Chain A
């Protein structure tokens, strides 16, 4: 097995073009588990962790922010990133233990593309854009086009996920996740809701209740018709409940050893109702 330890993106891309079957490792919180379970036997590894360019985030002139694929969750939990994207901070706090949050990254979440990935519902709710780079081209892909299925994404073998651009919205946003214990738990169902007042839009994305993260566009547009998202401050209980019911209709959960489809469907309806009520509490 070879391990390349590039210090720049271009070194990493060179390594990747000479070893197209190489596995990219960022924080390793997914890949090392796969290796330990013997599900994965990589012959070549490119370790991205020492690439400084990937470990920074920047504010863009249009107000959006671009977070490097190697920024650990720990950095999203507090500080300015929390101010700008509160839902991401809440999602980051639900990831594993402090040790895991010091290692895990959005790049890894995107690379693995599990429907239970804690950061992904946030990216879906805010319409994030994924930056991909190969030796030949750079391209940007909407998160909605990036995630294709359970652990499947649109990254080409010669590309590295370098960053994700997140629009900074004007409105309440929050994330919530159900697990069977109170911390360090894999998602049974999760939801991110984000309001953008200038565009009078509400977005809700669900995790762990379908093969991909699910944006509930029917429920979103229904609510937009019922309720003025830019001027209202309080949502009625019945409306919030109906929103939850409609959100659940768009989920596609399954039965597995972690939970049942019935519970997951119920849970996302409750989560959606609670999130919209948090957005419009009084």
Chain B
């Protein structure tokens, strides 16, 4: 999509565009994804799901399924030996629904059989009597005290109030809006899949699983299985994308239960349709926001009320909500604020983590507001943002001081300096028009628009959580081997980790050991955190190994180790002439060190939403240029210009991949990606009707990486995974507004929103 200079170095150290070790295998189809796993004598597992959004289970009769030849087990809630529920924050989600089903697609029973088709017949044979109930699907209604509680824990998952500065601060100008964000799906391409191997004797299980966080899964699985954690071993299966959808338990417990019950390896995998019911989605949200400003456009106060629909179970809703409301101000200075956020339980599908994690919703609102403010003050979208741009040392509405590098102004100015795309040429291919291959538009039907979006995103986990990462480095005979439990979900840590080792140790050959639970936790591959956290752990382990190597070499050659350093692939004496290759220096010895990286401590918010709850922040600006067929409401995003605060580029090729991918995902939310609900029912659980951007929808991306190394970050690099998808959505919508003059308060923008 974009042309970037690639830094080709002779060695694949930090800063080089090292290629993915699994790249060729993935392109040629040789890579083994978790759905490709196979074992002798294995059985297949499958899940019976509720057809109703809300119903009482009167009875379940599994006998007819057990009578089918080839069926080995049929399990329901009563077969869960340990804890009946699980959850990332609050264990309120049942392994199997027993009394009530609370969303369409909720698991009710599982079967193991000799063939997927036998599984399907067994599922059909299970008789479940439901008393169908009226689902509660409107979060505003669900919150009312008069509304029936659809879960013993209540319908309000979390409310948080923020009041900051002077809530009565006066201003010249106010602008306000009511914004709606639809339910986006992560839509990873590698579907949920796992294989569980029971230990002989049935006291343990080994689960090969595509997940974002092996250790968190293990804790939840072990509790449900009533096994000690050490008897549950997890191994990372090949992961085909995650985007937050693999944070929660899906088939993990089910697969292990069947393996333990049957004594055989169990393979489970979801279909695309089942996947839409098998994982959490991005929270749909309704946001009211009001900006108070001076007449020259300086923000005085922001008021907001945000309602996030959490669906039937808690998942990460409390954390998503806090991310949303603590980012209300966006990357702008704001001294006074009153914000209320509500995460609410309904009979819609559970919602949880997705790239951007609550900030996507807030950003659509605050960036739409900034454009309203610009118009009210007679400023350009760029000027209003520059006037309010946050700087290092500014305070957030939580009272937290932004200590991170905060080049907001630079992000905006450098994005603004990127040349605009050429006007549509007379020879332009009709496929490049809005409507694409449908040939709907003629040149004179098309109007071009430009829009802006700028965002702030917290990095790592918040509110007092210590999401540390662990890595071990073993150096022997010139080869480093790295061990960590970090989930490679496509982000490129398997490329980065060897780059770190090469830079620190001066070796070229790096072996990656299996990612599993045979080492300490790496934390989740989410929150833009693995380069910082697992990267910090690998860096720390390699540095410890290097220190011991220097000691060893110093002792052998009678040099004070403090004088030694690594230069390319040699160890040299900085004040003498001694030089030895790392390879030679490590012949016959083995040095191994393990390191845990912890980030700075954070705090909970108090009742007024005040507290240092976040670790660090990253910033980005997006400018979108779109062509709109105003009469038909069809859109083609022509160009996205972006300057992103990345701290330091560790792998240019990998970095641009994150930027382009995030932009495509943010474009999806802007103009097409939505799970359509009808009274608790999902209407479009397939790629026929849940539309992801294609090559003809993807824009040309012109990207600038702003490198101001982050002092807090072990490698100077900020997380870069989430920011690209956050402010690109409001930028695209603003561009459509500029082309059409429509208010467009909702994403995705649908054709009828533009033209009717």
Contact between B694 and A184 (Cβ–Cβ < 8 Å)?
A: yes
- Stretch among B254-262, B718-726, B748-756 lining the A interface: B748-756
- For B439, give its contact among A33, A175, A260 (CB under 8 Å): A175
Bound complex: CA A182 to CA B693 (Å): 8
Contact with A along B683-703 (1 / 0, CB 8 A): 110101101011111000000
- For A183, give its contact among B442, B695, B755 (CB under 8 Å): B695
Kindly report which residue of chain B lies nearest to residue A260, judged by CB atoms: B752
- Stretch among B318-326, B571-579, B580-588, B629-637 lining the A interface: B629-637
Kindly report which residue of chain A lies nearest to residue B434, judged by CB atoms: A182
- Please tell me if B56 contacts chain A, counting CB pairs below 8 Å: no
Given the known inter-chain contacts A183-B696, A257-B683, A263-B752, please indicate yes or no for A270 contacting B437, CB distance below 8 A: no
- For A186, give its contact among B445, B631, B689, B693 (CB under 8 Å): B689
- Please tell me if B672 contacts chain A, counting CB pairs below 8 Å: yes
- Please tell me if B419 contacts chain A, counting CB pairs below 8 Å: no
Output the least CB separation between B240 and chain A (Å).
Answer: 18
Given the known inter-chain contacts A257-B683, A278-B442, please indicate yes or no for A182 contacting B752, CB distance below 8 A: no
Kindly name the residue among A175, A258, A259, A277 whose own CB sees the greatest number of chain B CB atoms within 10 A.
A258
Contact between A178 and B752 (Cβ–Cβ < 8 Å)?
A: no
Given the known inter-chain contacts A182-B435, A270-B632, please indicate yes or no for A263 contacting B697, CB distance below 8 A: no
Contact between B273 and A37 (Cβ–Cβ < 8 Å)?
A: yes
Within 8 A of B (CB), among A7-25: none
Contact between A93 and B437 (Cβ–Cβ < 8 Å)?
A: yes
- For A266, give its contact among B441, B694, B750, B755 (CB under 8 Å): B755
- For A262, give its contact among B120, B632, B689, B752 (CB under 8 Å): B752
- Please tell me if A250 contacts chain B, counting CB pairs below 8 Å: no
By a CB distance below 8 angstroms, the chain A residues around B431 are: 182-183
- Please tell me if A271 contacts chain B, counting CB pairs below 8 Å: yes
Kindly name the residue among A33, A186, A270, A271 whose own CB sees the greatest number of chain B CB atoms within 10 A.
A270
Contact between A178 and B634 (Cβ–Cβ < 8 Å)?
A: yes
Main secondary structure of the interface of A (DSSP, over half): mixed
Contact between A176 and B120 (Cβ–Cβ < 8 Å)?
A: no
- Please tell me if A82 contacts chain B, counting CB pairs below 8 Å: no
Contact between A274 and B445 (Cβ–Cβ < 8 Å)?
A: yes
Contact with B along A177-191 (1 / 0, CB 8 A): 111111111101010
Kindly report which residue of chain A lies nearest to residue B433, judged by CB atoms: A182
Kindly report which residue of chain A lies nearest to residue B695, judged by CB atoms: A183
By a CB distance below 8 angstroms, the chain B residues around A188 are: 751
Contact between A257 and B689 (Cβ–Cβ < 8 Å)?
A: yes
- Please tell me if A36 contacts chain B, counting CB pairs below 8 Å: yes
By a CB distance below 8 angstroms, the chain A residues around B671 are: 180-181
Bound complex: CA A183 to CA B693 (Å): 9
Kindly report which residue of chain B lies nearest to residue A37, judged by CB atoms: B273
- Please tell me if A267 contacts chain B, counting CB pairs below 8 Å: yes
- Please tell me if A159 contacts chain B, counting CB pairs below 8 Å: no
Q: Which residue numbers of A lie inside 8 Å of B, CB to CB?
A: 33, 36-38, 90, 93-94, 174-186, 188, 190, 257-260, 262-263, 266-267, 270-271, 274, 277-278
**Closest 3 pairs (CB-CB, A-B):** A182-B436, A257-B683, A177-B438
**Known pairs A90-B439, A182-B438, A183-B437 / 5 extra A-B pairs, C-beta < 8 Å:** A181-B694, A182-B431, A182-B437, A183-B436, A184-B694
Cross-chain pairs A/B with CB under 8 angstroms, 5 sampled: A38-B120, A93-B437, A177-B440, A263-B755, A274-B440
